[in-house]
Amino acid sequence: MKIDILTLFPEICRAPLSESMMKRAQENQIVDLHIYNLRDWTTDKHRIVDDAPFGGGQGMVMKSEPIFAAVESLRAEKSFVVLMTPQGKRFAQSLAAKFAKKEHLIVICGHYEGIDHRVIEHLVDAEISIGDYVLTNGAIAAVVLVDAVVRLLPGVLGHEQSAADDSFSAGLLEAPQYTRPAEFRGWKVPDVLLSGNHAEIAAWRKEEALRRTRENRPDLLGRGD
Ligand code: ADE
C-alpha cells in the first residue's frame, strides 16, 4: 500500500511514523509512506499557503492552488484522497479497515481556520475527523489515521490474530489482561485465567468485555459498527 501525507508540518508526522511497527512496516515494504510539505507546491517567492476568508471573519483559509497541484502530481487512477478536519466523518475501526484495503491513500492535513471548500467539493473523497475536539492542525490527526490503517495491513502485526482481537473489531471493548506476577500487592489475577480451561477463559473474557463495554462505552452496544 502507498500512503502520501501532505502537511505544513512534516516533522510532526515524521517521528511517530518512524518508530516501532510503523518503522518495520516501511522497512518490510508493506507500506510505502511519504510525508510532503505542501509549501513545495507553492509558486510564489514567500511560499504562501493561506489567505483571508472571502466574506470576512477571523483566521486564515488554506488556499486551493497548492493542494490541487500537490494531489494532482501524486495521484494515480486508484488513489483515495482523505482530508483531516474536525468537520469530517468520525474515524472508527470500521473506517480504518476500509482504508486499509485501498491501494493508495493521499492524506491532506488541514490547518488554520479551514480550507477552501473547492478542495472538498472537487478533490477530496472523504473528510475525516478523529474525534469531537479541535487540534491545532491535522498532522496529528493524520498520524492517528495512518497508524490505525497501517497496523491492519497483512504482516505488520506479529500475530495475525491480534488485529481481529482488538477492541472495536468485534463491536466490544477488549477484556482485561494480566501478566506475571499472579499476585501483586495482594491483588490476585482472576483464578479462571490460571485454570488452563480454555472454554471457561473464553466465557470469562466475553462476559468481562460486555461488562466493560456497558460501563465505558454503552453507545457501542446494539450498534452494528
Ligand atoms: N484537525 C483539527 N482537529 C481535528 C480533528 N479532530 N480531526 C481531524 N483533523 C483535525
pLDDT in tens, 64-89: 999 999 999 999 999 999 999 999 99
In DSSP terms, which residues pair with 2 in a beta bridge? 32, 104
Nearest CA to ligand 1 atom 1: 138
Question: Does position 202 have pLDDT exceeding 90, yes or no?
Answer: yes
Question: Does position 176 have pLDDT exceeding 70, yes or no?
Answer: yes
Domains of the chain in start order, with CATH, are 2-150 (3.40.1280.10), 170-221 (1.10.1270.20)
205 alpha carbon – ligand 1 mean position (Å): 34
The pLDDT value given to residue 92:
96
**One-letter amino acid of 10:** P
Rounded distance between C-alpha atoms, residue 37 and residue 27, angstroms: 22
Q: 53 to each of 16, 59, 88, 116, 142, how far by Cα in Å?
A: 33, 8, 20, 9, 25
Phi-psi region of 187 (alpha: psi -120 to 50; beta: other; left: phi over 0): beta
Question: Does position 225 have pLDDT exceeding 70, yes or no?
Answer: no
Active site residue 151: yes
**Catalytic one of 16, 39, 65, 86:** 86
Cβ neighbours of 82 (radius 10 Å): 27
Cβ proximity of 2 and 31 under 8 Å: yes
Cβ neighbours of 109 (radius 10 Å): 28
pLDDT band at 169 (very low <50, low <70, confident <90, very high): confident
The pLDDT value given to residue 167:
77
Active site residue 113: yes
The reply to whether ligand 1 has any atom less than 6 angstroms from the CB of 109 is no
What does the DSSP assignment read for 26-41? Answer: HHTTS-EEEEEEGGGG
Cβ proximity of 89 and 129 under 8 Å: yes
Three-class DSSP category at 114: strand
**Catalytic one of 14, 16, 39, 166:** 166
Residue with cell 474515524: 91
